[in-house]
């Protein structure tokens, strides 16, 4: 618009231009006002969210359980983001309903929870897997809940459903940032709670442990001590003080409270042991000593301890326990005294039995020897029967004495087993051959069953194995009036690949049998089962008892079963096969019965001297006699004898001293002359003493003709003259 006035037009143009500029500035100002209003709105929204996060933090730290914290978290999601739903899926919970927390709204269906679990697994593994369609989410945010190490412990979800899309707007970038920050807070709180729960659990465990320890110490009479090396002060527990009769305030924390109460006999050793332990660097300590009780008596204490070291590995403290073992020591002393008394009683019993054995064997030597001499003379059949009865009775008495001594040795633990190669089949055959005549006299047949494949030689005690077979076969004959006794050997089934081979000895009879209720009692000493006809059984009931003890010593087993007729005993023994080179070589020469040469018999008992002279003479030998060891030594040193039989126990000079004297004083060419011990003692110690004195062999009284013959075959010169 122009006015025609240049000046006015120019001013009007300027005003219009300023007006346009002002309008532009007003428009920009209006836009800035709108932006400022939006910024204020966002700040207000962030502030509101921050305050709600603070409220959440304030309430979260006071929650009592994880489920309460999870529920509060879901509520806070809805409150902070102004959304419809908040969900928390706990990855470290058990799979199932308890893993999901949601607020608000009803619980999800199980199928939906299963779908959500599959999605959560895929999401944590980084795999692309859509949320379940059944959730019907229109808009949602997802953030991981992480622990201190960055590992996911849960998944936090904020969501709006399609049904309420018009009510809740979409999540903007600020909401995303707030949600991520909130998820970080939740992770920190959950990690803090987890650590607090761990600490509380540890504190509770320590409390319970201390409570249990306190109760245990009170109930077990265990006192505690704790020695601080830096202050040289010692903590003594109430129970420690109580062990010595004191209360809490009557004993200080000085080390002298312990050291001054040590028994004089224990003091030096206890102090030396204790200080050596603390200086040596070892970790543990133990000792036993006596401490003076308040009443003046001495209490036995078992002490244990260990050293606690600092970061520089220097010892800081020693901690340990005191246990009052006075009652145990008193019991130990009573047991030791009882053991000594039992051992003395066993020795007295063994000595008594040995003495009785000696006193009985000496007259038996004369009696049985006389019967043996008579049996070799010209007598009629009736007289021979009487002689055999007398000899059998004498052998019976010998068996009783032998069984009694064996039982005494076993009970005293003095029976020692040998380990030598022997043929079990040969021993079995020999025992059966000896017992066959006695069985035949009763009309009983003995059958031997030895299958092929058994070892030719085993390692063990052949004498004790023979005794086991003899006892079981003799027992079967005793209680079998008619029928058959079967004796057999076989390999036992192995129990494992490394087990020592085992051999089974079976003795089965058709006798009176053993009642089931007495199956174990028959192995008791002095117990016998009497036949139903009221007849008397010979023996004193020690055979089976000794047999079981011998089997046990040989690490085997013995059992008995009742058959339809009779009994069946099974012995199982671990017998290692003997190496081929250790098997005893077979005898090739038949035993001799006639000899020549001169013999000296040294025997103080006149009857035994007379009988022994006759028994030796009938084998073709010349015999001189002496009544004591002194006379015997003079004769041996002066004469030229091929062999000497010497009684071990005699007046003036016993057989052992006589033998030592001869070995020392005789001409070197004569010192090796065989000297045979004669004794009524059968203890292993007696046999060992005779060997130590220089005797070559040991014969027990009564002197049996077969034992004498075996001895002469080994030591006497042979005779070419035929027997008379």
Query: Does pLDDT of 531 surpass 60?
Result: no
Cβ atoms of 437 and 448 within 8 Å: the answer is no
> CA neighbours within 13 Å on the CB side: how many for 389?
6
Query: Does pLDDT of 207 surpass 90?
Result: no
The mean-pLDDT minimum among 113-117, 176-180, 307-311, 379-383 falls in: 379-383
Looking at per-residue pLDDT, the higher value among 192 and 346 belongs to: 192
Measured in whole angstroms, the distance separating CA 647 from the mean position of its chain's CA atoms is 50
Q: Which residues contact 407 (CB under 8 A, 6 or more apart)?
A: 525, 542, 545, 546, 549
Does the bond joining 702 to the residue before it have cis omega, within 30 degrees of 0? yes
Reduce the DSSP state of residue 85 to 3 states and report it: strand
Strands 444-449 and 85-90, sheet pairing: unpaired
Neighbours of 465 (CB within 10 A): 25
Measured in whole angstroms, the distance separating CA 675 from the mean position of its chain's CA atoms is 51
Rounded distance, CA 227 to CA 576, Å?
58
Beta bridge partners of 137: 161
Work out the pLDDT band at 357, boundaries 50, 70, 90: low
Does the bond joining 462 to the residue before it have cis omega, within 30 degrees of 0? no
Work out the pLDDT band at 216, boundaries 50, 70, 90: low
Cβ atoms of 427 and 563 within 8 Å: the answer is no
Reduce the DSSP state of residue 37 to 3 states and report it: helix
How high is the pLDDT of residue 526?
A: 52
Cβ atoms of 490 and 504 within 8 Å: the answer is yes
Fold of 420-574: Heat Shock Protein 90 (3.30.565)
Cβ atoms of 612 and 645 within 8 Å: the answer is yes
How high is the pLDDT of residue 60?
A: 83
Rounded distance, CA 237 to CA 665, Å?
76
How high is the pLDDT of residue 289?
A: 93
Phi and psi angles of residue 25, each rounded to the nearest 5 degrees, phi first: -65, -40
672-683 average pLDDT score: 87
Strands 697-700 and 675-679, sheet pairing: parallel
Q: Angle at Cα 431 formed by Cα 425 and Cα 435, nearest 5°?
A: 145
420-427 average pLDDT score: 88
- 23-53 confidence digits (pLDDT tens): 888 888 777 777 777 667 667 667 787 888 8
How high is the pLDDT of residue 191?
A: 84
Percent of the chain with pLDDT over 90: 16
653-659 average pLDDT score: 93
94-110 average pLDDT score: 67
Residue-by-residue DSSP string for 595-640: B-SEEEEE-SSHHHHHHHHHHHHTTT-EEEEESSHHHHHHHHHHS-
364-387 average pLDDT score: 73
Please give the structure tokens belonging to residue 197: 């729960």
Residue indicated by tokens 């110490």: 217
Architecture of domain 48-197: 2-Layer Sandwich (3.30)
Question: Which residue, 713, 715, 681, is CA-closest to 699?
Answer: 681
How high is the pLDDT of residue 96?
A: 42
Rounded distance, CA 18 to CA 2, Å?
17
How high is the pLDDT of residue 95?
A: 45
Cβ atoms of 645 and 700 within 8 Å: the answer is no
Cβ atoms of 113 and 100 within 8 Å: the answer is yes
For residues 689-707, b (16+ Cβ closer than 10 Å) or e, as one string? Answer: bbeebbbbbbbbbbbbbee
Rounded distance, CA 657 to CA 645, Å?
14
Work out the pLDDT band at 339, boundaries 50, 70, 90: confident
Instruction: Note every long-range contact of 428-431, with CB atoms under 8 Å and residues 24 or more positions apart, other chains counting.
Output: 428/469, 428/487, 428/489, 428/505, 430/466, 431/466, 431/469, 431/470, 431/473
Architecture of domain 333-411: Orthogonal Bundle (1.10)
176-191 average pLDDT score: 88
Domain locations in the chain as residue ranges: 48-197, 221-324, 333-411, 420-574, 598-715
Q: Do domains 48-197 and 221-324 have the same CATH topology?
A: yes
Residue indicated by tokens 């006695």: 438
User: Using CB atoms within 10 A of its CB, is residue 210 exposed (0-12), middle (13-18) or buried (19+)?
Assistant: exposed
The mean-pLDDT minimum among 20-34, 613-627, 638-652 falls in: 20-34
CATH C-level class of 598-715 = alpha beta
Helices (H), 479-562: 543-553
Residue indicated by tokens 């309008």: 23
Reduce the DSSP state of residue 125 to 3 states and report it: coil
Question: Which residue, 563, 535, 402, is CA-closest to 478?
Answer: 535
Q: pTM surpassing 0.85?
A: no
> CA neighbours within 13 Å on the CB side: how many for 21?
6
Query: Does pLDDT of 419 surpass 60?
Result: yes
Cβ atoms of 321 and 225 within 8 Å: the answer is yes
Rounded distance, CA 658 to CA 653, Å?
6
What is the strand order of the sheet 622-626 is part of? 622-626, 598-602, 643-647, 675-679, 697-700
Rounded distance, CA 514 to CA 476, Å?
11
How high is the pLDDT of residue 656?
A: 94
Rounded distance, CA 350 to CA 574, Å?
30
Work out the pLDDT band at 141, boundaries 50, 70, 90: very high
Rounded distance, CA 365 to CA 358, Å?
10
171-190 average pLDDT score: 87
Work out the pLDDT band at 673, boundaries 50, 70, 90: very high
302-314 average pLDDT score: 84
> CA neighbours within 13 Å on the CB side: how many for 142?
11
Q: Which residues contact 362 (CB under 8 A, 6 or more apart)?
A: 605, 608, 680, 701
Rounded distance, CA 41 to CA 715, Å?
131
Neighbours of 642 (CB within 10 A): 17
Beta bridge partners of 406: none
Q: For domain 221-324, give the CATH superfamily.
A: PAS domain (3.30.450.20)
Reduce the DSSP state of residue 716 to 3 states and report it: coil
Percent of the chain with pLDDT over 70: 81
DSSP-assigned letter for residue 97: G
Question: Which residue, 579, 588, 613, is CA-closest to 598?
Answer: 613
Query: Does pLDDT of 149 surpass 80?
Result: yes
| Extended strands (E) in 310-355 | 315-324
520-536 average pLDDT score: 55
Q: How far is CA 451 from CA 27, 286, 425, in A?
A: 126, 60, 10
User: Using CB atoms within 10 A of its CB, is residue 557 exposed (0-12), middle (13-18) or buried (19+)?
Assistant: middle
């Amino acid at each position: 618009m122009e006015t025609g006035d240049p000046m006015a037009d120019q001013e009007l143009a300027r005003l219009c231009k300023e007006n346009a500029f002002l309008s532009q500035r007003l428009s920009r100002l209006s836009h800035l006002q709108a932006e400022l209003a939006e910024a204020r709105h966002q700040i207000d929204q962030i502030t509101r969210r921050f305050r709600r996060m603070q409220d959440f933090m304030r309430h979260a730290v006071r929650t009592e359980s994880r489920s309460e914290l999870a529920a509060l978290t879901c509520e806070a999601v809805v409150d902070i983001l102004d959304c419809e739903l908040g969900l928390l899926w706990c990855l470290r919970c058990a799979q199932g309903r308890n893993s999901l927390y949601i607020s608000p709204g009803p619980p999800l269906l199980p199928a939906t929870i299963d779908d959500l679990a599959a999605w959560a697994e895929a999401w944590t593994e980084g795999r692309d897997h859509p949320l379940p369609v059944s959730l019907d989410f229109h808009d949602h945010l997802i953030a991981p809940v992480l622990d201190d190490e960055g590992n996911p412990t849960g998944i936090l979800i904020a969501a709006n459903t399609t049904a309420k899309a018009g009510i809740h707007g979409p999540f903007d970038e600020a909401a995303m940032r707030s949600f991520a920050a909130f998820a970080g807070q939740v992770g920190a709180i959950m990690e803090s709670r987890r650590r607090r729960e761990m600490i509380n659990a540890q504190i509770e465990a320590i409390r319970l442990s201390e409570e249990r320890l306190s109760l245990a110490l009170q109930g077990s009479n265990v006192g505690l001590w704790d020695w601080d090396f830096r202050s040289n002060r010692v903590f003594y527990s109430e129970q420690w003080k109580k062990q010595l009769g004191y209360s809490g305030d009557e004993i200080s924390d000085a080390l002298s409270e312990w050291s001054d109460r040590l028994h004089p006999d224990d003091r030096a050793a206890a102090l030396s042991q204790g200080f050596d332990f603390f200086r040596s660097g070892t970790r543990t300590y133990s000792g036993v000593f006596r401490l003076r009780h308040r009443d003046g008596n001495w209490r036995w204490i078992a002490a244990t301890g260990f050293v606690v070291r600092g970061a520089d590995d220097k010892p800081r403290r020693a901690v340990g326990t005191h246990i009052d073992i006075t009652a145990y020591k008193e019991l130990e002393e009573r047991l030791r005294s009882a053991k000594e008394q039992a051992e003395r009683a066993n020795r007295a019993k063994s000595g008594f039995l040995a003495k009785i054995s000696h006193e009985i064997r000496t007259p038996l030597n004369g009696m049985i020897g006389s019967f043996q001499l008579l049996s070799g003379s010209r007598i009629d059949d009736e007289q021979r029967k009487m002689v055999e009865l007398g000899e059998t009775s004498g052998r019976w008495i010998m068996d009783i004495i032998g069984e009694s001594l064996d039982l005494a040795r076993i009970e005293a633990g003095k029976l020692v087993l040998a380990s030598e190669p022997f043929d079990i089949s040969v021993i079995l055959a020999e025992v059966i051959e000896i017992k066959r005549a006695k069985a035949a006299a009763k009309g009983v047949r003995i059958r031997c069953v030895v299958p092929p494949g058994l070892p030719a030689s085993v390692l063990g005690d052949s004498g004790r194995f023979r005794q086991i077979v003899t006892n079981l076969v003799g027992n079967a004959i005793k209680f079998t009036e008619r029928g058959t006794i079967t004796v057999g050997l076989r390999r036992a089934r192995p129990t494992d690949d490394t087990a020592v081979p085992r051999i089974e000895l079976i003795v089965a009879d058709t006798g009176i049998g053993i009642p089931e209720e007495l199956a174990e009692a028959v192995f008791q000493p002095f117990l016998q089962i009497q036949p139903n006809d009221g007849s008397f059984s010979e023996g004193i009931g020690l055979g089976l008892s000794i047999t079981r003890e011998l089997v046990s010593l040989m690490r085997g087993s013995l059992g008995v079963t009742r058959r339809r007729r009779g009994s069946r005993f099974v012995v199982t023994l671990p017998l290692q096969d003997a190496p081929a080179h250790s098997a005893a070589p077979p005898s090739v020469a038949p035993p001799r019965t006639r000899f020549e040469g001169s013999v000296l018999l040294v025997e103080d008992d006149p009857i035994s001297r007379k009988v022994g002279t006759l028994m030796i003479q009938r084998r073709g030998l010349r015999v001189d006699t002496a009544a004591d060891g002194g006379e015997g030594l003079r004769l041996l040193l002066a004469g030229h004898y091929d062999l000497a039989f010497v009684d071990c126990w005699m007046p003036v000079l016993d057989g052992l001293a006589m033998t030592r004297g001869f070995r020392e004083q005789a001409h070197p060419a004569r010192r090796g002359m065989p000297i045979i011990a004669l004794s009524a003692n059968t203890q292993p110690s007696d046999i060992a003493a005779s060997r130590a004195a220089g005797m070559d062999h040991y014969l027990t009284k009564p002197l049996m003709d077969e034992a004498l013959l075996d001895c002469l075959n080994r030591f006497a010169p042979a005779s070419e003259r035929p027997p008379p």
